[in-house]
Amino acid sequence: MPLRFAEPATEAYRFPLTIRHLLDSALTTASDRRIVYRDQGSWTYREFAGRVGRLASLLADLGAEQGMTIAVMDWDSHRYLEAYFAVPMMGAVLQTVNVRLPAPQVAYTLNHAKAEILLVHHDFFPLVEAVLPSLPGVKAVVAIMDGTQGALPAFAKGEYEALSAAASPDYPFEDFDENAVATTFYTTGTTGNPKGVCFTHRQLVLHTLACNAPFGAADGTGFAYKDVYMPLTPMFHVHAWGVPYVATMLGMTQVYPGRYEPEMLCRLHAQHKVTYSHCVPTILRMLLDAAEKTGTDVSGWTITVGGSALSPQLCAEGRRKGMRLIAGYGMSETGPLVSVARIRPGTEGDDAAEIQALTATVPAPLISARIVDDDMNDLPHDGQTRGELVLRAPWLTPCYTGDAKASETLWHGGWMHTQDIATIDPDGYIRIRDRLKDVIKTGGEWIDSIQLEELVATAEGVVEVAVVAMPDAKWGERPLAVVVVRPGAALTLETLNAPIEAAISQGTITRYAKLERFAVVEGLPRTSVGKIDKKLIRATHADNAQAGVA
């Protein structure tokens, strides 16, 4: 027999999962709650909905229509949140521009995404001025003066607030196909051009609902409608991890901090009693230092930490100040929600056990997570066996825009390849061990370069270290440690291997991890976003290594 389908009433509403519906219950239940922007103002959800309508109207006046890309270059603001809603709700595509990229890459992403209208904060006027000549597709730039009094630049069609004030708040938003693209942005690799990912209305609505499950868990790690939210991951970066959509759906009080300035962040936190944020470890470090300096009480502040691993040390430090810190894992391609930490039931109050659990993550609802070998065979969930983490979920990017080859690689075998090497333990806790391209495959074993680096870093005289794989005729690959040495220290292979041998005897790393060679360098090369450029290190040392010089 065929599957059974219902015969809907003629007028039964075919409810598409479009972003506009995320506002519905907030408008009913939180219409007087406020969305705050720095120390410059606040708006109720009712006013916010009017401003969303005005933004759509002003964009339409500038020629915006369905399917068009509209790009935003702004700090985290209520305006950015307005664009999160207005642009997709009118059927257009929101491009969140990574303003930290070099100008040529910004130009590349705007051209590649076919952006036709730009909303630009005055801090980025020089950047826009530099790239505009290479952006033939851009029809209009709206200047965001952000309360300052300067003259409008010649390239601007008008100013955000002035245009908004003159536009109608009653834009006739309609429902449409939930599979329409809502947002796009670009990921940055260590080489080559940025790659564009995109997300549909359906994907973002599902991402929002699924986010709410683990983040909203009633175990002291989550949030609810009564919380006060302040993002500390830029809104151009993977939808600020999707939380602005969740916070709006729940009608939470929201605080947008503009450009991240440590003392402003502390002040906003104190003034609005912020209870929930999310950030990368670097920002957390900065927050803790700023809080120390300004005497800010950060207790009761729940922060999801992602982007890089939340170390147990940093987690413990934040907890000592009364923060609740939770690891999160995801990437640009995943919307980003994949997995979130949670306390292991029965271990509540046991500090070490809580830190252990809170620095790993478990899959969110509707995430299918596997670890697999090179042939996509499942590997055991024993907390030890390493494999590539591959995923299915309803909100993963379907492709890299206009890059069929990279898209096919991403989705090879019907699963999205994270290129992260992970272990999964019997209770589902995922730990990311290394990047696939950085792992060292030697004698049938996988060695995490990160684990090896952590060991070598403890050796006497080592300032900084990167471990990379070098091709090896007999073993496939062998590790090479590239080390920055403390002035005056005499580094030997024995010194470097001391902590590795200790780990081997404790059984925490394979005996194949023992080094046969190392290279001493002045400093480690880094990428534009500050990560160690292992690709360059591999290339630099390949010849030496093959010649046996290192």
Would you name the residues annotated as active-site residues? 187, 333, 441, 446
Q: What Å distances lie between residue 55 and 34, 97, 243, 509, 521, CA to CA?
A: 18, 18, 21, 56, 53
Q: What Å distances lie between residue 379 and 360, 382, 383, 510, CA to CA?
A: 19, 9, 10, 18
Give the distance from CA 419 to its chain's centroid.
15
Long-range contacts, 44-52 (Cβ 8 Å, 24+): 45/248, 45/251, 48/78, 48/81, 48/82, 49/23, 49/169, 50/169, 51/78, 51/82, 51/164, 51/169, 52/23, 52/82, 52/85, 52/86, 52/89, 52/171
- For a second copy, which is the closer residue by CB, 21 or 319? 21
Tokens of 412: 């090879």
Tokens of 108: 């590349």
- For a second copy, which is the closer residue by CB, 197 or 483? 197
**CB 180 → a second copy: shortest distance, Å?**
4
**CB 298 → a second copy: shortest distance, Å?**
19
Question: In 3-state terms, what secondary structure has residue 1?
Answer: coil
- For a second copy, which is the closer residue by CB, 306 or 363? 363
Q: What is the CA radius of gyration of the chain?
A: 25
Cβ burial, residue 206 (10 Å; 0-12/13-18/19+): buried
- For a second copy, which is the closer residue by CB, 219 or 460? 219
- For a second copy, which is the closer residue by CB, 5 or 548? 5
**CB 539 → a second copy: shortest distance, Å?**
29
Which candidate, 388, 331, 393, places its Cα nearest to that of 189? 331
Question: In 3-state terms, what secondary structure has residue 524?
Answer: coil
**CB 17 → a second copy: shortest distance, Å?**
7
**CB 46 → a second copy: shortest distance, Å?**
10
- For a second copy, which is the closer residue by CB, 180 or 436? 180
**CB 395 → a second copy: shortest distance, Å?**
8
Return phi, psi of residue 408, to 5°: -65, -40
Cβ burial, residue 144 (10 Å; 0-12/13-18/19+): buried
